[in-house]
Amino acid sequence: MNSLPRRQQNRIIRERRILDAALKVFAETGYSGATMDMVAIEAGLSKPTLYQYFESKEALFSAMMIGERDQMLEFFQHPSGKGMVADLHGFAWDYADTVMRPDLLSLARLIIGEVQRFPEIGRAYQESGPDRLLRGIMDYLEGRRGAGELVFDDAELAAQDLWGLILSAPRTQALYMPDSPPSRSGIARYLNNGLRIFLKAYSTQPEADLAKLEALITAHSLQQVEHDD
């Protein structure tokens, strides 16, 4: 970012500040309760300045969700060069580290509580976040199929399998039991098992890919122990 003109750098920094403020406001008040005034105050900006960046609450919400989606897709949009198994493992942890954050879990709970009265909120959330994320996963998996590394008939079902296998159970627990979130080791248990099942089902070289996965799991566990120490 340092190579960009100062004005452009400042705009990027301010936009990030607005999106961080929006997530805080949406997570605390829900979509229907949030206002542009509240976001402007949280971001430390005037309301006219906020409207220079986002023309409406709907546009701001969409940009916020797209930003979170792009973070989760980083390993697929910019592969590490270490191969498919490393990309899948990296995505799985980026996904877990994002959607298990307390602020995003709070936002999800509030949206679930509002969709009966305001169906448009559910559609906005689905279209800006999960649907776009699913499309990104599908694109990556289709590329790996084209390279002969995966085999499947339906890219959407394969993507849904990957998504559901790695985190469905612990995220559901976290959504409905906020006072008892799963531990890091508990998340790892589901995530690693989900990746194993996915590779067994879809890899064209399951034994080799599973061996790569086990090496990554071991390395990640050692890094976590070092970090905790």
- Which pLDDT tens digit goes with each residue over 103-162? 888 878 877 887 787 787 778 777 767 888 888 899 999 999 999 999 999 999 999 999
1-55 has CATH 1.10.10.60 classification: yes
Which pLDDT score, from 0 to 100, does residue 165 have? 94
Which pLDDT score, from 0 to 100, does residue 138 have? 94
Cα–Cα distance measured from residue 9 to residue 4, given in angstroms and rounded to the nearest whole number: 6
- Could you give the 3-state DSSP secondary structure of residue 188? helix
Cα–Cα distance measured from residue 72 to residue 92, given in angstroms and rounded to the nearest whole number: 8
Which pLDDT score, from 0 to 100, does residue 154 have? 97
Cα–Cα distance measured from residue 165 to residue 159, given in angstroms and rounded to the nearest whole number: 10
The total number of residues written for the chain in this structure: 229
Instruction: For the chain, give every residue range classified as CATH 1.10.10.60.
Output: 1-55
Which pLDDT score, from 0 to 100, does residue 4 have? 67
Domain 64-228: give its CATH code: 1.10.357.10
Name the stretches of the chain with pLDDT < 70.
1-4, 68-70, 72, 75, 128, 225-229
Which pLDDT score, from 0 to 100, does residue 52 have? 92
Which pLDDT score, from 0 to 100, does residue 166 have? 92
Instruction: For the chain, give every residue range classified as CATH 1.10.357.10.
Output: 64-228
Q: What is the largest CA-CA distance in the chain?
A: 58
Cα–Cα distance measured from residue 175 to residue 183, given in angstroms and rounded to the nearest whole number: 14
**Contact by Cβ (8 Å): 29, 103:** no
List all residues 6 or more positions away from 82 whose beta carbon is below 8 Å from its beta carbon. Answer: none
**Contact by Cβ (8 Å): 21, 66:** no
Which pLDDT score, from 0 to 100, does residue 2 have? 56
pTM: 0.78
List all residues 6 or more positions away from 137 whose beta carbon is below 8 Å from its beta carbon. Answer: 73, 76, 91, 159, 162, 163
Residue 5, classified by CB atoms within 10 Å of its CB into exposed (0-12), middle (13-18) or buried (19+), is exposed
Which pLDDT score, from 0 to 100, does residue 125 have? 75
Angle at CA 83, nearest 5°, toward 164 and 229? 75
